[in-house]
Amino acid sequence: MHREEKVNYAALWMWARSSPRRIIFLLRINWGRWCAIRRRRRQQRRIDGSIPSVLAVSPTMRCNYDCQACYSRGRPEDDELSTEELDALFSEAEELGVHSIVLTGGEPLLRDDILDLTTRHHRLLFFLITNGSLITPQIASLIARSGNIIALVSLEGFAGHTDERRQPGAHRTAMRAFSYLRETRAVFGFTATNTAANIDELGSDEFINQMVDVGCAVDFFTEYVPCGSNPRPEWVLDEPARAALRNRVLEFRRRKPIVLSQFPDDEYGKENRCSGAGRSSLHINAQGDVEPCPFMSVARENIRHGGLIAACQSPFLRAIREHPELLGRQRYACSLFEHRDALDGLAQQFDADSERKP
């Protein structure tokens, strides 16, 4: 077994040293992370809550694609957080010491205000997860000039798997987005959902080499979780397949000039504990509901009532953290999804306990 390193520092240095602009970007990220850690420690004592280092935010659940087995299919699309509400959320995240915001959804670029909002908040590092269809040379240039956005274009491997799951031409569209981002010298990468159908392709030298060649600096592999309105249980990885991909990722980290991240292994670690429910991350959905993670649409607080501080002080998320059996995974990539019946029971018990209080 290879040594488990979450970051390929050699690959990071190989990527950064090819351009002074990249070195500056990397130094800025590290400085911002150090400052955020100090603010978070100070603020955590002040508010008596759990401040996440990473915040997942879905600014919209609308999407111009109709991907098979999408985890967010069927979520509400109305009553989205306004520009002002998102601006206030990002400002509060900066002050509390949140370092990174993952913009997911839905397709975030369907919001005309999203890039303007991100460039207002330079103390935050934004990971923009997009299908790439709305990236134009002008959008790519804005991302490149921002200095605090890493664009992650979603695909499922080569054209066959990508077009089958997403839509005809989706792979060509993603490659076009990579081209625009590379021409503007933006920092970008890809994100892929690894399933039983495409795991061999995603774990191949050929695929990773192609991603390096198109200019990807980072990668996020996310193991498929069978949630949403049309799940595909046959896509769930078994343990041998999961272990095989992990070994490939560790091998790639030793010899590929790309920073590879893998969910859930890098998140859960040797302790096998979920980082969600406010331990290190939580999810704010398009309506402002405070959810333990993007895969579990259950909430008892909303940032429209108390802001991000109220989310960090959430009694419901605290109750989840106080039940460690909910945070360990076995069969699925998400422990909270795996224990969804127990989580629903906890939510009902929480509501009953709240009603009994005077």
pLDDT recorded at residue 206? 97
pLDDT recorded at residue 228? 79
pLDDT recorded at residue 2? 41
**Dihedral angle at the C-alpha atoms of 238, 240, 245, 246, nearest 10 degrees?**
110
pLDDT recorded at residue 358? 45
Residue whose token pair is 């508010």: 47
Sites in the chain below the pLDDT cut of 70: 1-12, 14-19, 352-358
Residues 304-352 have pLDDT tens digits of 999 999 999 999 999 999 998 999 998 999 999 999 999 989 888 877 6
| 109-140 b/e (C-beta count within 10 Å ≥ 16 → b) | bbbeebbebbbebebbbbbbbbbbbebeeebb
Rounded distance between C-alpha atoms, residue 188 and residue 203, angstroms: 20
Residues in the chain: 358
pLDDT recorded at residue 75? 85
Q: Considering just the CA atoms, what is the radius of gyration of the chain in Å?
A: 20
Residue extents of the structural domains in the chain: 9-356
CATH 3.20.20.70 fits 9-356, yes or no: yes
Is residue 324 classed as helix, strand or coil in its secondary structure? Answer: helix
Rounded distance between C-alpha atoms, residue 345 and residue 79, angstroms: 28
To 10 degrees, what angle do helices 83-96 and 20-47 make?
A: 80
pLDDT recorded at residue 4? 44
**Claim: this prediction has a pTM higher than 0.85:** yes
pLDDT recorded at residue 18? 65
What are 114's two structure tokens? 């999203």
Q: Distance of alpha carbon 116 from its chain centroid, rounded?
A: 20
CB 131 within 8 A of CB 175: no
pLDDT recorded at residue 253? 86
